[in-house]
Amino acid sequence: MPADRTPHVKHSMRKSPYLVSLFLLLAATALTVLNIKLPSLVRVKIRSPGPTVFETKYGLFERCTRQVDVPALLRRATPLMTPIAEPYDAGLVKAVKKHPWQCERFPTRSECAQFGEGFCVAWSTAGYTVQLALVPCFFALISLLFIFLHRGKRLARARARRQQWKLVSGAMLVHALLQLTSIALILREFSTDERFARGARLGASFTFGVAAGVVSLSTFGFLTFTGIAARRGEPWAAGRSSRQARRHKRTRSGRVVAVPEGTHIPPEARVTVGEVVAAAEHDEVDEHSALLAGHEGSVAGGGTRRATDQV
């Protein structure tokens, strides 16, 4: 039985899954920023008996209010007791006057004291959770840029592609969990708080938050599935590292050695490029070595070539 332990096959991942993940990451980050910046998590429209409608938009850190002056023709309908004396004037429809939005920080301390600290704590926690979710996005972006911009030895680049998917997918999972936590807190307050009891609906900012969480979960699933497939040596995921090596074979002792180009390699001695990389990293030589050295010089007689390492 050979004394050498065969190095574990190391298949790297193609660059294309990382490129797809980069675009998905940028989309998730942009959606998260919109979720933070836009004050439209919840929109409330209150119609008064008079000629004014009040609209309020709630964001994670800001609340904006405006009033809309409605002409008499567009006010709340009442049963007609007598025929309309004057013909319908379509120009009145365009006479709706919308005042500019007036924004302030939300929630305020006075409201927290008046309505209770529970709402303020939950709403503020939701906002800080979304801000914290940008940290794993930044971490994942640095990891992906390292893959595309890294310059060095081929083995070092392959090692980066083989390992970085774990960091990126983990970061995207953390981002998704933080984003979904914020969404859950907002939904809880939307369903229970009296501010949203009448005329309230979820706005565009809430949709952006949900989309950011879905994109991050999709990125996590896609990259994890592709990374596991690459480790198994699937050609569509591992790419070149899963192909058959043309200048290397496995000897009877289980070692990977180089052979002259064009040499016929029997099926039982064929190895993949990933196995060649693993052997090269194990013995600290590259794939152009004429013969991989003996493990720790343990060959009988003190040499580096075994009787079973015949080319």
State how far the alpha carbon of 289 is from the alpha carbons of 98, 246, 248, 260, 303, in Å: 77, 14, 10, 11, 17
Give the tens place of pLDDT for each residue, 79-98: 545 454 444 444 444 556 67
Query: Which residue ranges make up each domain of the chain?
Result: 16-64+98-231, 243-295
Give the tens place of pLDDT for each residue, 2-38: 444 444 556 667 788 889 999 999 999 999 999 999 9
Which two three-digit tokens encode residue 35? 């979720």
Query: Is 1.20.140.150 the CATH number for 16-64+98-231?
Result: yes
Q: Which helix (H) or strand (E) holds 184?
A: helix 154-192
**Exposed, middle or buried by CB within 10 Å (0-12, 13-18, 19+), for 227?**
buried
pLDDT at 244: 52
φ and ψ at 250, to 5 degrees? -100, 130
Does the predicted TM-score (pTM) go above 0.75? no
pLDDT at 302: 44
pLDDT at 297: 42
pLDDT at 21: 93
How far out from the chain centre does Cα 166 lie?
Answer: 12
Q: Which residues of the chain have pLDDT under 70?
A: 1-12, 49-50, 71-97, 151-158, 239-254, 256-311
**Residue 239 CB neighbours (<10 A):** 20
Give the pairing of strands 62-69 and 52-58: antiparallel
How far out from the chain centre does Cα 59 lie?
Answer: 23
C-alpha to C-alpha distance for 104 and 146, rounded to whole angstroms: 41
Q: Give the start-end residues of each E strand in the chain.
A: 42-47, 52-58, 62-69, 97-98, 102-105, 200-202, 248-250, 256-258
